[in-house]
């Protein structure tokens, strides 16, 4: 097959990935910066009659329509942001409780409240643990358009295979980025599970009379989640082997931090990067590779949501200095300056 | 009836109207030989107790969310009979937005609203259908608003929908309405059947008194097909 180069935006990439994953329906409600995914899906649906959609009355209805579609055995998804991510927790909680292969693209914007409309990394807690349960979800954090494609494909596959809701946690900067992309990765699709059969009948519940019954359900799900984690938890370790200082960052800040590592190395500092590709489950074993370093820096566009995740998940979590910029973008030179000031020998 | 067509043991309170309504729905679907194509999304509230009662696919949803769940189910599975089974609180209070929009869009699903003018599962709080003056757990001095007339409201939004109201003590008419409602969804239209129902537990009434009260409700909530 010949090399195919295309000029695509993040929202184009999402729609492509979802279609390549075999999903045929989208339910959504307009909210910046996720709206473009819905409008692009609808525009493509005008050309391809297999594609279904509904602009619902709110994000709650969008989430439950996705739940209904996946119960019927269809691959379906939604995309939302900020206040919409809050409303989406209702359906996500049901998806967690009933082990539905629910897929959502979360396009982070600034919070709290209506906040700002393009960017933050403040929806980490909502994505990983926003429901009234134990947070058994799969959450990817892409740093580039190619990762946005791969992770969206993997979200559908992992949701279908492991039966946990899968979220791609991105932001408005990445979804609005436009660049030339050549050839997407080939990924084999896992078919959607047929939950409610066409012949015979099933009776499914999410509410239990006896506490022990629910406890057993949770323990069973937890066991599955831990087993799955060994396979799907992923992270990137960049120049960590000899590093004294490790920068920890996710999503597009992770990409910026990688550039910062190169710049700091050029100045003679032994710096590396650890970037979680999955925020849930977190790649705890991957993090072990960094443990010979003396210094750790967490850089994120929130007041510590990633840092808290690390503290909660990693046993004997090292102390780290923090470069928190809630609701602000972070540039390479800011991280370089911060690390130089803190760790370069005077 | 063959063994696998029977209903299972029943979790509802003695004298609860849900039992009559669900068994009537089952009978209609079996008679039409459409039970295999049906799926019932259950609201949370007393409706959830129906989860394993019928030889039909059922799944519990969340409170107020049976309607949007069945909108998604129906769009994913053509030729299915998608039923949202809910109480008056799920339909007309927390889920009203989705009910009105499903009706307005004419989504071909059947919504069955069980109206007993009270929140049953949580122990007798005011419902959107509570009568003016009705004493409830959350209106101890008596409710001071007029009850919501759901079917009449939905009629305003959708001229093509099948809309009717009957009562749990009129099972023959209920069966007729449900059959017409199912046929309406098969023809591509939204359907809503509200069923006035007993809640002896929260009404704090015994058998005869309950039945008299149910008949009295028909003065406020007019039964029949709503044209």
pLDDT tens for A150-182 read 999 999 999 999 999 999 999 999 999 999 998
One domain for residues A240 and A329? yes
- Cα nearest neighbour of B39 on chain A: A196
Fold designation for B32-173+182-225: Rossmann fold (3.40.50)
- Cα nearest neighbour of A92 on chain B: B62
Of A207, A232, A257, which marks where a domain is finished?
Answer: A232
One domain for residues A167 and A291? no
A74 touching B (Cβ < 8 Å):
yes
B68 touching A (Cβ < 8 Å):
yes
Task: Please answer yes or no on whether A72 and B39 come within 8 Å at the CB atom.
Answer: yes
pLDDT at residue B213 in the model? 97
Of A232, A252, A274, which marks where a domain is finished?
Answer: A232
- Partner-chain residue, chosen from A58, A62, A68, that has the shortest CB–CB distance to B73: A68
3-class DSSP state of B51: helix
Would you tell me which residues 14-43 of chain B have a C-beta closer than 8 angstroms to some C-beta of chain A? Answer: 35-37, 39, 41
Q: Which of A116, A144, A115 has the alpha carbon at shortest distance from A251?
A: A144
Q: Which residues of B touch A198 (CB under 8 A)?
A: 36-37, 77
| Both structure tokens of B82 | 């998608």
pLDDT at residue A199 in the model? 81
- Cα nearest neighbour of B44 on chain A: A207
| Both structure tokens of A107 | 């396009």
pLDDT exceeding 90 applies to what percent of chain A? 95
- Residue B54 DSSP one-character state: S
Q: What band does B1 get if pLDDT is binned at 50, 70 and 90? A: very low
Mean pLDDT of A13-33: 98
Find out whether the peptide bond into A33 is cis, omega within 30 degrees of 0: yes
Q: Which residues of B touch A91 (CB under 8 A)?
A: 62, 65
- pTM score over 0.90: yes
pLDDT tens for B89-135 read 999 999 999 999 999 999 999 999 999 999 999 999 999 999 999 99
Residues A304, A162, A51, A117: what is their CA dihedral angle, to the nearest 10 degrees?
Answer: 0
Range of the domain at A294: 235-343
Q: What band does B5 get if pLDDT is binned at 50, 70 and 90? A: low
3-class DSSP state of B193: strand
Q: Which of A255, A38, A307 has the alpha carbon at shortest distance from A147?
A: A255
pLDDT tens for A113-137 read 999 999 999 999 999 999 999 999 9
One domain for residues A174 and A296? no
Report the number of distinct structural domains present in chain A: 2
Supply the CATH number for residue A296's domain: 3.40.50.920
One domain for residues A294 and A333? yes
Supply the CATH number for residue A91's domain: 3.40.50.970
Sequence-separated (6 or more) residues with CB below 8 Å from residue A145: A8, A10, A13, A174, A177, A179, A181
One domain for residues A224 and A124? yes
pLDDT tens for B19-55 read 999 999 999 999 999 999 999 999 999 999 999 999 9
One domain for residues A99 and A27? yes
One domain for residues A79 and A194? yes
- Domains of chain B: which residue ranges? 32-173+182-225
Mean pLDDT of A186-212: 94
B62 touching A (Cβ < 8 Å):
yes
The crossing angle, in degrees rounded to 10, of helices B66-76 and B96-105 is 30
Task: Please answer yes or no on whether B59 and A94 come within 8 Å at the CB atom.
Answer: no
Residues B128, B131, B133, B136: what is their CA dihedral angle, to the nearest 10 degrees?
Answer: -50
- Residue B130 DSSP one-character state: P
Q: Which residues of B touch A93 (CB under 8 A)?
A: 62
Of A198, A232, A266, which marks where a domain is finished?
Answer: A232
What is the Cβ-side half-sphere exposure of residue A171, based on CA atoms within 13 angstroms?
A: 28
Location of structure tokens 């074993």: A285
One domain for residues A64 and A134? yes
Q: Which of B146, B161, B120 has the alpha carbon at shortest distance from B19?
A: B120
Task: Please answer yes or no on whether A199 and B69 come within 8 Å at the CB atom.
Answer: no
Task: Please answer yes or no on whether B62 and A93 come within 8 Å at the CB atom.
Answer: yes
Q: Supply the ipTM of this predicted assembly.
A: 0.96
Task: Please answer yes or no on whether B41 and A56 come within 8 Å at the CB atom.
Answer: no
Cα(B187)–Cα(B202) distance, integer angstroms:
38
- Cα nearest neighbour of A202 on chain B: B57
One domain for residues A249 and A322? yes
Task: Please answer yes or no on whether A94 and B41 come within 8 Å at the CB atom.
Answer: no
| Both structure tokens of A109 | 């914007």
Å from B133 to nearest chain A CA? 33
One domain for residues A244 and A125? no
One domain for residues A246 and A177? no
Query: Is residue A287 a contact partner of residue A235, using CB atoms and an 8 Å limit?
Result: yes
Total Cβ atoms within 10 A of residue B173? 16
pLDDT at residue B135 in the model? 97
Q: By CB neighbour count within 10 A (0-12 exposed, 13-18 middle, 19+ buried), where does A100 fall?
A: buried
Find out whether the peptide bond into B42 is cis, omega within 30 degrees of 0: no
């Amino acid at each position: 097959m010949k090399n195919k180069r295309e000029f695509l935006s993040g929202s184009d990439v999402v729609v492509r990935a979802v279609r390549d994953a075999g999903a045929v329906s989208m339910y959504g409600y307009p909210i910046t910066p996720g709206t473009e995914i819905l409008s692009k899906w609808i525009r493509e649906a005008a050309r391809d009659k297999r594609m279904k959609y509904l602009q619902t009355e709110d994000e709650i209805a969008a989430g439950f329509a996705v739940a209904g579609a996946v119960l019927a055995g269809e691959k379906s998804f939604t995309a939302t942001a900020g206040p919409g991510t809050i409303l989406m927790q209702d359906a996500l909680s049901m998806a967690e409780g009933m082990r539905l292969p629910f897929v959502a693209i979360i396009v982070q914007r600034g919070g709290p409240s209506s906040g700002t409309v393009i960017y933050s990394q403040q929806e980490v807690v909502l994505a990983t643990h926003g429901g009234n349960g134990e947070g058994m979800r799969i959450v990817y954090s892409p740093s580039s358009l190619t990762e946005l494609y791969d992770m969206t494909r993997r979200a559908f596959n992992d949701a279908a295979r492991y039966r946990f809701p899968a979220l791609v946690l991105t932001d408005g900067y990445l979804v609005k980025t436009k660049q030339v992309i050549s050839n997407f990765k080939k990924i084999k699709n896992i078919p959607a599970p047929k939950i409610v059969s066409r012949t015979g009948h099933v009776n499914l519940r999410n509410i239990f009379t006896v506490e022990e019954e629910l406890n057993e359900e949770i323990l069973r799900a937890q066991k599955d989640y831990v087993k799955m984690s060994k396979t799907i938890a992923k992270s990137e370790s960049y120049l960590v082997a000899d590093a004294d200082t490790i920068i920890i960052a996710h999503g597009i800040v992770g990409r910026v931090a990688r550039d910062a590592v190169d710049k700091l190395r050029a100045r003679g500092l032994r710096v590396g990067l650890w970037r979680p590709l999955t925020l849930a489950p977190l790649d705890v074993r991957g993090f072990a590779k960094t443990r010979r370093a003396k210094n750790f820096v967490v850089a994120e566009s929130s007041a510590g949501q990633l840092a808290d995740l690390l503290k909660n998940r990693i046993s004997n979590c090292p102390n780290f200095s923090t470069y928190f910029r809630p609701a602000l973008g972070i540039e390479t030179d800011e991280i370089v300056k911060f690390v130089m000031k803190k760790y370069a020998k005077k | 009836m063959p063994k696998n067509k029977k209903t299972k043991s029943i979790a509802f309170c003695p004298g609860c109207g849900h039992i009559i309504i669900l068994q009537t729905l089952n009978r209609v679907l079996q008679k039409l030989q459409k039970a295999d194509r049906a799926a019932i999304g259950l609201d949370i509230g007393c409706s959830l107790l129906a989860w394993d009662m019928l030889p039909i696919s059922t799944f519990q949803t969340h409170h107020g969310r049976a309607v949007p769940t069945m909108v998604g189910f129906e769009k994913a599975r053509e030729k299915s009979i998608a039923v949202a089974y809910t109480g008056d609180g799920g339909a007309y209070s927390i889920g009203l937005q989705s009910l009105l929009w499903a009706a307005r869009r004419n989504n071909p699903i059947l919504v069955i609203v069980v109206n007993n003018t009270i929140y049953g599962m949580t122990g007798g709080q005011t419902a959107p259908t509570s009568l003016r003056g009705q004493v409830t757990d959350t209106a101890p001095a008596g409710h001071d608003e007029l009850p919501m007339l759901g079917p009449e409201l939905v009629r305003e939004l959708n001229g093509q929908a099948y809309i009717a109201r009957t009562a749990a003590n009129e099972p023959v008419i209920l069966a007729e309405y449900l059959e017409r409602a199912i046929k309406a969804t098969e023809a591509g239209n939204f359907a809503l059947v509200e069923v006035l129902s007993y809640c002896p537990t929260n009404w704090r009434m015994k058998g005869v008194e309950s039945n008299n009260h149910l008949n009295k409700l028909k003065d406020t909530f007019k039964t029949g097909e709503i044209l």
